[in-house]
Chain A
Amino acid sequence: MGIGHRLTAPFRQTSGFARWILLSGMIIVGIFVVLALFAPWIAPYGFAQTSYAGGADFPKATGPGGEHLLGTTSFGFYDVLSRVIWGSRTAVEVVLISVVLSLLIGAPLGLVSGYLGGWLDRILVLVMDALYAFPSLLLAIVFSFLLSDFFGGGVVAAGVALTVIYVPQYFRVVRNTTVSAREATYVEAARAIGASKRTIMTKYLFGNVIQSVPVIGTLNAADAIGTLAALGFLGLGVQPNEAAEWGYDLQRALPDASAGIWWTGVFPGLAIVLLVTGLTLVGEGLNETVNPTLRKRRLRPFTLPPRGAAAFQAGKGQVDL
């Protein structure tokens, strides 16, 4: 049983529907990751480019086709396709920063708080609960409003602003599993042989407590895409001169709606929907395999042993799963 075998375990344990969900989600996310990685080579123009290499300006708000496959915008005269492709790079970067940072902060805090308990635990739980109860968009608004004064409107600032939203989620999950795992026999055994608190937390609890994190991570990533776009839509978050951002492009497309210019808004929005859907599908697919209440595993048909006592005693009843 190699590591590859373990990694694909949730995939193999799923049956038709859940497997289909997981697979289609992975394909969609994969496409966007490729777009993000190779944006400079895939995109026909730069994200802030408004003129051809020859020096002539792009035409204003032309429809899809010809030189500009998805048309050009009515503000700044950008190429829509290029902005959509560069936007996936921004989205992937911001989401990676926020999910990784919040995991790095939230999970250890939850572990320590859950294992040590006491007043530290109480205070942390209270603060995290308060943060969790707060509408996440408002939290992101406040943070990016502040951070824009320090860090400017770059990808890092947006990623950090989103981190705050997700820390409480990892904290809660890891803390709660730690609290229930703390009294488990194997932890007690570790204590009995004199393992230090630090060893118990890192060597014994960590691996067992971290199981549900991939599901939360993917769902948070999906949520982060939406929140980043929402910040951009409100004029916060990643600023237009720093990188291409789908939410900002949507905001600039609003006045076009009544003028019948549909391509400026439809395509960046479609990118958001696709990426969020892909991530949600991955999360849902993982959840169906991790969450026992939803799980429908592939089990071999179950036949009760025949009524004759002899057959049963002979151990010929087919009760193996």
Chain B
Amino acid sequence: MASAGGSLPRYIAQRLLLIIPMVFLLTTIVFLLLRVAPGDPVSASLGGRLSEDALDQRRASLGLDRPLIVQYLEYLKDVATFNFGETITDNRAIIDIVQENGGATLTLAVSAFIVALVVGLPLGMIAGRMRDTGPDLVIRIFGVITYAAPVFYWGLLFQLLFAGALGWLPVSGAASPETIFEVEPVTHILLLDAVIAGNSEAIVDILEHLLMPAATLGLLLSGIFIRLVRVNVIQSLQGDYIEAARARGIRESRVIRSHAFRNALVPVVTVIGLQVALLLSGAILTEATFNWPGIGNELVQYINNRDYAAVQGIITLFAVVVVLVSILIDIVNALIDPRVRY
């Protein structure tokens, strides 16, 4: 790393600077889509429930009576200061939604990622190593099916089997009502809170609830890992350095393990960064399937209530998260693979 030390900080600085136009563009798109559209958000979500005067008051308090350009600048200023606004229907600050529901989404995403790594990496390596044989065929079909079946279909099938027919696992939710009542919210990540409280019954209950959603979302991601790792293993097995290693008389198992697999994994890290978007989409659907109290579930409810401000705030937040994470992955990538930062 030391030899390229000079260019690394520059690369990181470049990537960080890129955040600004990316966030600016995405937020502009979101604003244009949701605000410039005719019809006004307040009557869309509250029309018929409040008097005309009250509606006007709400419009004024949300700043919707001002010219669009003023609203737009105001919105950009808010985003720059991480203020994503408030919902119209129940006056919640978006940042509060993040605090209260973000923990559930994070728990789901991280555990799904673990499932995907544990399932996807080994299967992808086997398939790549044994290209065009029986195991490869079986694993590829598994990969295609995990990718082809929508997450909510997996979720439904799991529910039918493990909650309906076998009765082993709870059908939905993040925990039973008693657990939620007992565990004191400290971090707003239920599992962590239960661990802090040392409540072993609650921990078991939470894990039982987590199992199906995590497996559901994890399977979706594992299909992608399999495809990716397989192709990379195949390509790296064709590399000259593999031939060279074999020519030097290195054992085949060692050639595969330390020469082929190692090099096949570097591009995987790159593409994992691109999967953040997929993880997020998958999380929304998984949350809707299992009534999981995450941000995605909130988004769906606000969509059904036609709460423009909430939808705009949550989508903007997601956009910012996606940009930040993808740039973070770029930087991690540059640390791993010196070729990235020319």
Contacts and interface: CB of A to CB of B under 8 A. Distances in A.
Interface string A21-34: 00000000000000
B156 A273 contact: no
Interface in B141-178: 144-145, 147-150, 152-153, 156-157, 159-160, 163-165, 171
Contacts of A141: 299, 303, 315
Contacts of B160: 257, 260, 262, 265-266
Interface string A51-70: 00000000000000000000
Nearest to A147: B37
Contacts of B322: 133-135
A254 B289 contact: yes
30 contacts: A126-B25, A130-B26, A133-B26, A133-B277, A135-B322, A136-B281, A137-B280, A138-B318, A141-B299, A142-B33, A143-B33, A146-B34, A149-B44, A230-B152, A234-B288, A234-B303, A235-B300, A236-B303, A258-B159, A258-B171, A265-B153, A266-B156, A266-B157, A269-B150, A273-B149, A276-B148, A276-B149, A281-B144, A293-B235, A296-B132
A306 B223 CA distance: 48
Contacts of A230: 150, 152, 281, 285
A87 to B, nearest CB: 13
Contacts of B277: 133-136
B-side interface mostly = helix
Contacts of B281: 135-138, 230
A69 B318 CA distance: 44
B149 A272 contact: yes
B280 A138 contact: yes
Interface string B301-337: 0011000000100010011001100100000000000
Given A17-B132, A130-B25, A265-B156, A233 B288 contact: yes
A273 B145 contact: yes
B5 interface: no
A259 B288 contact: no
Nearest to B170: A258
B152 A294 contact: no
A127 interface: yes
A226 B29 contact: no
Contacts of B210: none
A233 B152 contact: yes
Interface string B28-71: 01100110010100001000000000000000000000000000
Q: Interface size bucket, B side?
A: 35 or more
Interface in B260-294: 277-278, 280-281, 284-285, 288-289
A294 B25 contact: no
B97 interface: no
Contact of A137 (B33, B157, B284): B284
A247 interface: yes
Interface string A253-284: 11001111010011001001100110011001
A276 B144 CA distance: 9
A280 B147 CA distance: 9
A133 B318 contact: no
A136 B319 CA distance: 11
Nearest to A269: B153
A280 B144 contact: yes
Given A135-B277, A230-B285, A273 B159 contact: no
Contact of A260 (B145, B165, B289, B318): B165
Interface in A191-239: 222, 226, 229-230, 233-236
A138 B314 CA distance: 10
A134 to B, nearest CB: 6
Interface in A103-132: 126-127, 130-131
Given A141-B303, A280-B144, A294-B231, 18 more contacts: A130-B25, A133-B277, A134-B277, A137-B284, A141-B299, A142-B33, A145-B303, A146-B34, A230-B150, A233-B288, A233-B289, A235-B304, A247-B150, A257-B171, A265-B156, A269-B156, A273-B148, A276-B148
Interface in A279-315: 280-281, 284, 293-294, 296
B153 A250 contact: yes
B175 to A, nearest CB: 17
A236 B281 CA distance: 15
A253 B153 CA distance: 10
A146 B37 contact: yes
B313 to A, nearest CB: 13
B22 interface: yes
A250 B285 CA distance: 12
B22 A133 contact: yes
Contacts of B318: 135, 138
B156 A294 contact: no
A222 B231 contact: no
B24 to A, nearest CB: 9
A104 B137 CA distance: 36
B249 interface: no
Contacts of A250: 150, 152-153, 156
A278 B149 CA distance: 12
Interface string B164-206: 1100000100000000000000000000000000000000000
A40 B30 CA distance: 40
Q: Which of A16, A145, A281 has the most B CB atoms < 10 Å from its CB?
A: A145
B30 A226 contact: no
